[in-house]
């Protein structure tokens, strides 16, 4: 169903730009979808070399001293996306190289929307790792928590696209560098100063990254940071379905915000109906502030302690669904980072979710995840066109 609205004006909290003074971080201003807004200016691409990256993070370019509002933890990798849909990996004539990895996608998505974000994770001390580090800097994402492993390669994923743009994955990580992040390598100061700490479940699959994940989330929780969790189920990476289910649920009750898909509900509940609200409510733990269920082109459902509902999505031509869920997460977290009181105001939360739905919809119109993530201006323009 197309987006329904009775007015052509929406209000959204404008994400805080990284150049904003720290004392202004808690302020909120309202913008109209009709208003023109200045474009994001990205810093020039940082030139990286083996000598200044040897096994460690590198310093910021000095453009800001502000702590990022949202810190994303986990994997960053290279997706190889076929240039032709509907073919197997063996049949695909060529692939487009695209940076990806769900937590990194969210970090870049937030920055593209004008927010402040950081990425914490590990890549190989190789050309792909350097490329990914450059891409974060190019997109104005703080990467001081990034680490480089001289003994492991950056993870790769080959993606098969159906004619409808749906995906299947083949991963190369035996092990990859993201799996080897250690607790001692965490930038805990970066985590503790954030407003929101976002993560997935892939970092729970193997040690030492699992212990690093648990330690990072614990530090964030103790510092009063909001925990955001997107399980992002990738069954081929897990030893078994039961192991995946157990580990995903092992950190469930610590999260303040959880985003899941219909397929993940069915998986976690062992086949129960993901469209049944009573089934979804089984996944709502007592301390949870917001549970979001994405439904692809149909939009999303939302559940809090006090209210629940559905926000319809935008209908677009689908090219590649890679990164759509991450774009949605970036959209809602960019709004919550500006004003967490949205969680208690259903009308304003619905507006923020309408914005997030549009972020996801625009992302499926191009191939790859990070290359397809939209700017705030593109999202506002799409919302305006949907109601005129």
Domain boundaries, the chain: 65-75+101-152+174-387
Q: Angle, to 10 degrees, between the axis of helix 127-138 and the axis of helix 102-112? A: 30
pLDDT tier at 306, thresholds 50, 70, 90: very high
Q: CA-to-CA distance for 131 and 322, rounded, in angstroms?
A: 20
pLDDT digits (tens, 9 = 90+) for 95-123: 988 899 999 999 999 999 999 999 999 99
pLDDT tier at 159, thresholds 50, 70, 90: confident
Angle in degrees, CA 34, 39, 42, rounded to 5: 160
Could you tell me which residues are beta bridge partners of residue 228? 198, 257
Question: DSSP per residue over 312-346, as a string?
Answer: -------S--TTHHHHHHHHHHHHHHH-GGGGG-H
Residue 243 region by backbone torsions, left for phi larger than 0, else alpha for psi between -120 and 50, else beta? alpha
Across the chain, mean pLDDT equals 84
Architecture of domain 65-75+101-152+174-387: 3-Layer(aba) Sandwich (3.40)
Q: CA-to-CA distance for 74 and 274, rounded, in angstroms?
A: 27
Angle in degrees, CA 380, 385, 388, rounded to 5: 125
Does residue 42 surpass a pLDDT of 60?
no
CB 335, CB 342: distance < 8 Å:
yes
Q: CA-to-CA distance for 113 and 141, rounded, in angstroms?
A: 12
The continuous run of DSSP H or E covering 264 comes out as: helix 262-268
Q: CA-to-CA distance for 38 and 379, rounded, in angstroms?
A: 13
**pTM beyond 0.85:** no
**Looking at per-residue confidence, does 1 or 310 come out higher?**
310
């Amino acid at each position: 169903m197309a987006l329904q609205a009775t007015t052509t004006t929406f209000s959204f909290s404008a994400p805080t730009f990284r150049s904003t003074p720290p004392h202004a971080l808690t302020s909120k201003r309202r913008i109209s979808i009709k208003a023109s807004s200045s474009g994001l200016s990205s810093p020039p691409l940082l030139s990286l070399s083996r000598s200044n990256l040897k096994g460690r993070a590198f310093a910021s370019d000095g453009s800001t001293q502000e702590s990022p509002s949202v810190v994303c933890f986990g994997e960053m990798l290279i997706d190889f996306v076929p240039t032709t849909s509907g073919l197997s990996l063996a049949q695909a004539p060529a692939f487009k190289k695209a940076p990806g990895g769900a937590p990194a996608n969210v970090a870049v998505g937030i920055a593209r929307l004008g927010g402040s974000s950081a990425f914490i994770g590990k890549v190989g001390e190789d050309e792909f790792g350097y490329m990914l580090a450059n891409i974060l800097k190019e997109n104005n994402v703080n990467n001081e928590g990034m680490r480089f492993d001289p003994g492991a390669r950056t993870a790769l994923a080959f993606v098969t696209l159906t004619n409808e743009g749906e995906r299947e994955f083949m991963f190369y990580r035996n092990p990859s560098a993201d799996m080897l992040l250690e607790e001692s390598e965490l930038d805990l100061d970066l985590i503790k100063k954030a407003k929101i700490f976002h993560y997935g479940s892939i970092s729970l699959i193997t040690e030492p990254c699992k212990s690093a994940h648990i330690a990072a989330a614990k530090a964030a929780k103790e510092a009063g940071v909001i925990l955001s969790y997107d399980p992002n189920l990738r069954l081929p990476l897990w030893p078994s379905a039961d192991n995946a289910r157990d580990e995903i649920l092992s950190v469930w009750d610590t999260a303040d915000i959880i985003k899941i898909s219909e397929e993940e509900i069915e998986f976690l509940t062992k086949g129960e109906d993901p469209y049944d609200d009573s089934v979804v409510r089984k996944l709502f733990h007592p301390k949870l502030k917001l549970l979001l269920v994405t439904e692809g082109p149909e939009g999303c459902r939302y559940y809090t302690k006090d209210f629940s509902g559905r926000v319809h999505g935008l209908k677009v031509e689908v090219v590649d669904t890679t990164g759509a869920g991450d774009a949605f997460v970036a959209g809602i977290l960019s709004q919550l980072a500006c004003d967490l009181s949205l969680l208690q105001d259903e009308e304003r939360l619905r507006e923020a979710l309408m914005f997030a739905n549009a972020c996801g919809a625009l992302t499926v119109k191009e191939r790859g995840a990070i290359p397809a993530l939209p700017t705030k201006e593109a999202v506002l323009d799409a919302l305006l066109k949907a109601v005129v």
